[in-house]
Structure 1
Amino acid sequence: MEKLYGVIGDPISQSMSPSMHNAAFSNLGLTAKYMAFHVTPDRLPAAIEGIRGLGIAGLNVTIPHKVSIMTLLDEIDPLAKKIGAVNTIVNEFGKLIGYNTDGAGYVTSLKEAIPKKRIQDQSILLIGAGGAARAIYFTLIDEGVEKVDIANRTKETARQLIHSRNSSSSLAMDLSEAESVVDSYDIIINTTSIGMYPSLDHTPIHLGHIKENTIVSDIIYNPIETKWLRVAKSFGAKTLNGVDMFVFQGALSFEKWTGIYPNIDVMRNVVLNKLGGVN
């Protein structure tokens, strides 16, 4: 019997997850199908009951449901509970369990980008303090990274995120303060939507005096290369876009559903082909 998986969100028509996951199922010869389901916030409780009723084996959750869905699930993984958001649901015989693979997906992509360095030894600046920043921040701290600072348009929001993890080694700052100290970081990560449409010509902070070979990362994957990453390259930085974060978080969801870690190259190539570019 074919197992059914999917992603829920509002909007959802732009999602690349069905193409990516269906390619992974096909590559492994699994009898399964992944679909996108448009679920508006007012229909979320009914959609959750539909998962149980239809026996949908697993779901990804995207904007705007990652937080609101938590009260509708039977169990929340401890890390997802700390992050305060769920992006993956596993249906275990009618019991719906929520996980968050966003942070782990990002950190996996970052480790791949610095294979000869220990991530724990890196000095990291996170730009933004929203849901994505929260997932990445908690995961980095759990990985043992001691120096993770947060810059945000509103400094108090960055301070609240640090306080929620009780990290005494992290600093909160506003964006102008971050610009004055970018040369003190090995890795700088943009977790905001600045660089996506309609903000294609904007950058989150200026990088005028970063160190050469700094890793400048953007979790945005469409466009593949934001203006910020192009500017970073011109200053001698090594850049990392959001494609691999998207792929790895999807692969971790896939593993939770099936017990099998999928072929990353198959998934990545599908995403790159749909984006019409190279990583």
Structure 2
Amino acid sequence: MGSHITHRAAVLGSPIEHSKSPVLHNAGYKALGLDHWEYERFECTGDMLPGLVSGADENFHGFSVTMPSKFAALNFADEVTPRARAIGSANTLLRTTHGWRADNTDVDGIRGALGELLNGTSLSGKHAVVIGSGGTARPAIWALIEAGVSHITVLNRSDRTSELQSLFDETPTLLSYAPLDSTPTDADVVVSTVPSAGIAGLEASLAIAPVLDVIYDPWPTPLVEAARAAGLKAVGGHVMLAYQSYGQFEQFTGMEAPRDAMRQALEESLGISEAV
């Protein structure tokens, strides 16, 4: 791209070589003719993040942040959005006149994927099952609460709901726990935030409602296959990945994300070609 690059952004994490963020953002730049923009990737652990970001030259407008650096990004930032603070991690750092602002657009990712999964059907007053209680469970819960669900059951090997309770404190949404191998009897949506190996053999008992599986490689996942075999709709983590990138793109560039071009580039790079 040469010396005419004047605007930069990048993704930080470790390992980083498989990140699809450069595919998404660079496709967006290309679609809008932003040939003076470039998006890169940097190997970055949590310990490395403060030095790397504070040492970045002024051409860098923002950073996408993946594991294991999302907690460091939150702690490093000069300013934190309410949702990033509540979730306890950040996947976005934006340069501002005051320093760096942390946000969590994983919420947008979950919201967008749920919108496609449910075809716009409201979740208000509904029951959601969330599998897992780790890093991705928190933005999933935040998005579900925002969508108005009345009850979230968290399925996990151990009861870690005490760590999640603060997300529910200011809301009317109920939180309950069930063991991973229990079969939920009713749900309007199932969101799995765990690796496929973590629920191996349990897929049929978990696929009781439309499924959002945050995993997308390899695709389709066993849980998605189980849902589709049961005649239920399912979407994968690549849909979430696309939607979380749009907000980052808009924060970094100040321009509306060309969603179709970004989504198409992502699906081509993953070898996924399915109508949504």
Q: Is the 8 A contact 1:73 1:98 kept in 2?
A: yes
Please, which of 21, 34, 39 is the counterpart of residue 39 of structure 2?
A: 34
- Offset at 1:189? 1.0
* 1:89 counterpart = 2:93: yes
Match of 2:122 in 1: 118
Match of 1:192 in 2: 194
Letter in 1 for 2:47: D
Letter in 2 for 1:251: Y
* 1:60 counterpart = 2:57: no
Letter in 2 for 1:245: M
Q: Is the 8 A contact 2:211 2:235 kept in 1?
A: yes
Match of 1:46 in 2: 51
2 CA distance for matches of 1:135 and 1:205? 24
* 1:234 counterpart = 2:213: no
Please, which of 180, 199, 203 is the counterpart of residue 200 of structure 2?
A: 203
- Offset at 1:164? 4.3
Alignment: residue pair count: 267
- Secondary structure at the residue paired with 1:29? coil
- Secondary structure at the residue paired with 2:95? strand
2 CA distance for matches of 1:229 and 1:132? 18
Please, which of 98, 103, 107 is the counterpart of residue 99 of structure 1?
A: 103
Please, which of 1, 8, 12 is the counterpart of residue 4 of structure 1?
A: 8
Match of 2:211 in 1: 216
* 1:254 counterpart = 2:267: no
Please, which of 139, 158, 165 is the counterpart of residue 135 of structure 1?
A: 139
Match of 1:165 in 2: 168
2 CA distance for matches of 1:265 and 1:190? 25
Q: Is the 8 A contact 1:224 1:242 kept in 2?
A: no
Q: Is the 8 A contact 2:113 2:239 kept in 1?
A: yes
2 CA distance for matches of 1:276 and 1:103? 25
Give aligned-pair identity as a percent: 28
2 CA distance for matches of 1:65 and 1:219? 19
Q: Is the 8 A contact 2:74 2:84 kept in 1?
A: no
- Secondary structure at the residue paired with 1:35? strand
* 1:225 counterpart = 2:229: no
- Secondary structure at the residue paired with 1:136? helix
Gaps of 5+ in 2: none
- Cα RMSD after superposing both structures: 2.0
- Secondary structure at the residue paired with 1:120? coil
So what's the TM-score if we normalise by structure 1?
0.88
Shift of the 210–79 alpha-carbon distance from structure 1 to 2, 3 Å rule, reads closer
Gaps of 5+ in 1: none
- Secondary structure at the residue paired with 2:60? coil
2 CA distance for matches of 1:160 and 1:209? 23
2 CA distance for matches of 1:116 and 1:161? 27
1 CA distance for matches of 2:203 and 2:18? 30
